[in-house]
């Protein structure tokens, strides 16, 4: 099954100048808990922003021009192998913008953390009409604010209700 996980600001921004412009440990923990032990799929820019593979996960990087041969990393130049893999196991699409766009039509679930501020981002989660028309909200959890988590945030879980038009809704 294909799951998307993302953290966005009020404009659905995900990054600015090649970095995530907020610090929210609650969301980092949520991300780790959801994805640990699974396959995480990312674009080469996102992988390079981490600088190393995410631990305790199989890291799959999409790239047309690079071959990342770090331990624990697989590189693919197209989405087809990932669509096949997703028929058998849970995969997590973790960004960035290009990669979210590629997989949105196939995604069964979207885990979206919404930070209730704007950060003047230059990369965005490609919302389109997908969220309204093809998904419904399954759960909403208000994030807890504390000394280390100063941004108001809400965890949304969406599930697909309408076929994405790619003939792959069952994955
Ligand atoms: N807020 C969040 O939840 C979140 C999540 C993830 C990432 N981010 C941020 O987003 C930024 C990166 O996002 P981005 O949109 O610039 O880049 P990206 O989606 O991570 O990676 C783009 C790269 O993916 C490869 N790619 C794209 N389409 C492909 C295809 N059809 N087949 C094979 N490879 C393909 C290309 O790599 P090559 O050029 O190597 O061919 C392309 O340059 C970073 O700043 C990161 O911190 C934020």
Task: Say how many Å lie between the CA of residue 85 and the centre of ligand 1.
Answer: 20
Each residue's pLDDT tens digit, 96-139: 999 999 999 999 999 999 999 999 999 999 987 677 789 999 99
Residue 19 pLDDT level (bands cut at 50, 70, 90): very high
Give the structural domain span for 140: 2-160
Q: 169 lies in a domain?
A: no
- The pLDDT of residue 171: 46
Q: 20 lies in a domain?
A: yes
Q: 85 lies in a domain?
A: yes
Ligand 1 neighbour 95 (Cβ under 6 A): yes
- The pLDDT of residue 10: 96
Residue 93 pLDDT level (bands cut at 50, 70, 90): very high
Ligand 1 neighbour 6 (Cβ under 6 A): yes
Among the residue ranges 2-16, 34-48, 63-77, 107-121, the one predicted with the least confidence is 63-77
Is residue 165 over pLDDT 80?
A: no
Give nearest CA residue, ligand 1 atom 31. 78
Give nearest CA residue, ligand 1 atom 14. 96
Q: 167 lies in a domain?
A: no
List the CATH number of the domain containing 104. 3.40.430.10
Ligand 1 neighbour 44 (Cβ under 6 A): yes
- The pLDDT of residue 169: 46
Pocket perturbation via mutation, ligand 1, pick of 17, 44, 47, 155 by most ligand atoms within 8 A of CB: 44
Q: 126 lies in a domain?
A: yes
Helix (H/G/I), strand (E/B), else coil: 49: helix
- The pLDDT of residue 166: 67
- The pLDDT of residue 33: 98
More confident residue, 170 or 139: 139
- The pLDDT of residue 167: 56
* CA separation for the pair 23, 13 (Å, rounded): 14
Ligand 1 neighbour 113 (Cβ under 6 A): no
The reported pTM is 0.95
Q: 102 lies in a domain?
A: yes
DSSP of 58-111, one letter per residue? EEEEE-SS-----TTEEEESSSHHHHHHTTTS-EEE---HHHHHHHGGG-SEEE
* CA separation for the pair 88, 91 (Å, rounded): 9
Q: 170 lies in a domain?
A: no
Task: Say how many Å lie between the CA of residue 123 and the centre of ligand 1.
Answer: 10
């Amino acid at each position: 099954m294909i799951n998307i996980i993302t953290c966005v600001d009020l404009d659905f921004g995900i990054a600015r100048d090649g970095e995530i412009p907020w610090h929210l440990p609650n969301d980092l923990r949520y991300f780790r808990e959801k994805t640990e032990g699974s396959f995480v799929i990312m674009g080469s820019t996102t992988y390079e922003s981490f600088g190393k593979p995410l631990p305790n996960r199989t890291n799959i990087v999409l790239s047309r021009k690079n071959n990342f041969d770090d331990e624990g990393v697989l590189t693919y130049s197209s989405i087809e192998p990932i669509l096949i893999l997703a028929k058998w196991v849970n995969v997590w699409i973790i960004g960035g913008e290009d990669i979210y766009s590629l997989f949105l039509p196939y995604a069964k679930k979207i885990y979206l953390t919404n930070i209730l501020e704007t950060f003047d981002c230059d990369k965005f989660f490609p919302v389109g009409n997908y969220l309204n028309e093809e998904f419904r909200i399954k759960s909403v959890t208000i994030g807890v604010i504390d000394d280390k988590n100063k941004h108001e945030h809400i965890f949304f879980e969406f599930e697909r209700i309408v076929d994405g038009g790619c003939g792959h809704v069952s994955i």
